[in-house]
Amino acid sequence: MKVAVVQMVSGVALAANLAAARSLLRQAAEQGAELAVLPEYFCIMGQRDTDKLAHGEAFGSGPIQQFLADTARELGLWLVAGTLPLAAPTGPAPDAPARVFNSSLVYSSAGLCVARYDKIHLFRFQNGTEHYDESRVLSAGEQPVLFELASRDGHVWRIGLSVCYDLRFAELYRGYAQRGADLLLVPSAFTYTTGEHHWEVLLRARAIENLAFVAAPAQGGVHENGRRTWGHSMLVDPWGAVLAEQAQDAGVVLAELSMARLLALRGQLPALSHRVL
């Protein structure tokens, strides 16, 4: 199955971001991709964290979701929307702050939404210069989510969903492995500071320890809001080999994922069946 991960440098304007995403997804389709994955915050990287609240949509309706459904159907792609803001329930207090979920939606090539994952782990980081706290505007998800994709070559792929900061929590991916995941998705917007030291080693570790492919699209560049993201979108095989990668700037990274190789590696090193704890 040929998989594309899409790297973007999203800005503050929703329409421009959607246009850029569509152009990149068209490139992926033209190069034979069957599954394409957009990065975290593909649709909006606002001047402030609260800007995403204005774009929050009810699940099942809204211009971003319509764009995704239409694009998947028109291009004949399975499409995973890295993340978009979906409305979250407000607290019981009348002055409770507004919140959205940071949600990854999966669309079949028929344009149907077949899975939803709300980011479970919310990023917080402070080093004296940079400060991030996603919990100010995001509500955390609670459930890991797998979906199945019947590829053109006759295999059924089990695919586990995650987002960015989730990457640091190995138990999420081990749970997916126990449920038979063949491919792990990690759409992200890693900061340059953390990504430089942690991004590749964590992606390769998740692939190796779970004997699964990993597809990781990212934001990669300097954004209108001044944030700098690490990029280095990549596809990794179950042995930890980087199959394809793009360092910075917008682009499409593709690789052919082989179910035969995955099964062969699991047969050679049946570590998943050796778990004790």
d(C-alpha 257, C-alpha 93), whole Å = 49
Which residues are within 8 A (CB) of 243 and not within 5 positions of it... i.e. 6 or more apart?
A: 234, 235, 236, 237, 255, 257
Least Cα distance to 2 among 35, 39, 29 occurs for 35
Which residues are within 8 A (CB) of 129 and not within 5 positions of it... i.e. 6 or more apart?
A: none
Residue corresponding to tokens 């917008």? 250
Detail the DSSP E strand segments found in the chain: 2-7, 35-37, 78-87, 100-107, 113-118, 124-126, 131-133, 138-139, 146-150, 156-161, 183-185, 213-216, 233-236, 242-246, 251-256
Amino acid at 1: M
Q: What are phi and psi of 199, to 5 degrees?
A: -60, -60
Indicate which residues carry an active-site annotation: 40, 119, 164
Which residues are within 8 A (CB) of 156 and not within 5 positions of it... i.e. 6 or more apart?
A: 148, 149, 150
Partner residues linked to 212 by β-bridges: none
Under DSSP, is residue 57 helix (H, G, I), strand (E, B) or coil?
A: strand
d(C-alpha 152, C-alpha 213), whole Å = 18
